[in-house]
Every structure is written in C-alpha cells, then in structure tokens.
Structure 1
Amino acid sequence: MKGFKTIAIFNYSHEIVVIKHILDQEEIHYFFENEYIVSIDPLASFAYGGIQLKVHPNDFQQVQEILDNLNTKLSIV
C-alpha cells in the first residue's frame, strides 16, 4: 500500500466500525494500520500511535468529506 496517506487516527478498534462500512459501500480503497495489534492489546494503542486510517491520495478529499459528515451528523446520546 505504497503511497497511501494517513487521514485519521483512532484509539480503539470499536471506533472504526462505522467508517469501515461507509468506505466499503463507497468502494474506496483503504487500510487501517495497527488495527489488529490494538484489537489484541487495546492499551498498546498509544504506544503504536493509534489505529491509522490510510487512503490513496486520489481518494483523500472524498474520505475527508465522509469524516467531516460523520463528525457533524453523528451524535451519541
């Protein structure tokens, strides 16, 4: 996945579930660096720099819009 850039960082594996679903629906190529090690040892998240969402530069703007929409529209009561 050479050339992919980090667009967001998450601390826990449960935070990426919704984003994975949306990116899969939009057929955007992505990967989460450190996803598996953090799911095995959640306390290691900070040591590894969190779970990094990496996308291709061509999809960067589209993914940024998706993340912005999630941040403004998603509210947990």
Structure 2
Amino acid sequence: MNNFIQLAVFTYPHEYTVLKLLLEKEDIRFFFQNETVIGVIPFYSNALGGIFLKVHPEDLKEAKKIFSDYNFENHLHIV
C-alpha cells in the first residue's frame, strides 16, 4: 500500500459513492485512506485532511480517465 498514488481528496464518504462503484466495476486497485475513521467520526475530516483516494500505479492511467469522466458527467447534487 506504500506505493499507491493519491488521486483525489474528499471530505465525506457520500461524495465518492458512485465513483467507488465505477472503479470497482473496472477492477481498479484502490483504497480510501481515512474512510473508516471519518465514517465513524465525521468531524475528524478536516483534522485528518480528508479521505484520500489512493490508486495502484499500474491502474493510475485508467483511474484518472474514470475520475475525469465522473467529474465531467456528474450531474448528481446533494440538496
């Protein structure tokens, strides 16, 4: 896990739920650092710097494409 590369930072778990499903669908090797702690104690998010999406170096190119498509085509808004 030391060689994984940080691709994005999120404040709360609901911000990346769809992205997580897209990455799993494509068999991208990834994990969210700090996900469990912030899921249990949401107020720690700012103190820990957020939730980090980390991707395996061999999957980085494909993960970047999925991430950019997700950001561009994401019409979901929390209201």
Question: Structure 1 length normalisation: TM-score?
Answer: 0.92
Residue in 1 aligned with 2:70?
70
Q: What letter corresponds to residue 21 of structure 2 in structure 1?
A: H
Percent identity, please: 39
Residue in 2 aligned with 1:42?
42
Q: Distance in 1 between matches of 2:75 and 2:17?
A: 15
Tell me by how many angstroms 1:71 deviates: 1.0
1:62 is paired with a residue of what secondary structure?
A: helix
Residue in 1 aligned with 2:17?
17
Tell me by how many angstroms 1:32 deviates: 0.4
1:27 is paired with a residue of what secondary structure?
A: coil
Q: What letter corresponds to residue 32 of structure 1 in structure 2?
A: F
Q: Are residues 1:29 and 2:37 paired?
A: no
Where has structure 1 moved over 2 Å in runs of 4 or more?
none
**Number of aligned residues:** 77
Q: Distance in 1 between matches of 2:20 and 2:68?
A: 15
RMSD, aligned α-carbons = 1.1
Question: Structure 2 length normalisation: TM-score?
Answer: 0.90
2:32 is paired with a residue of what secondary structure?
A: strand
Tell me by how many angstroms 1:51 deviates: 0.4
Runs of 5+ consecutive residues of structure 2 not aligned to the other structure:
none
Runs of 5+ consecutive residues of structure 1 not aligned to the other structure:
none
2:20 is paired with a residue of what secondary structure?
A: helix
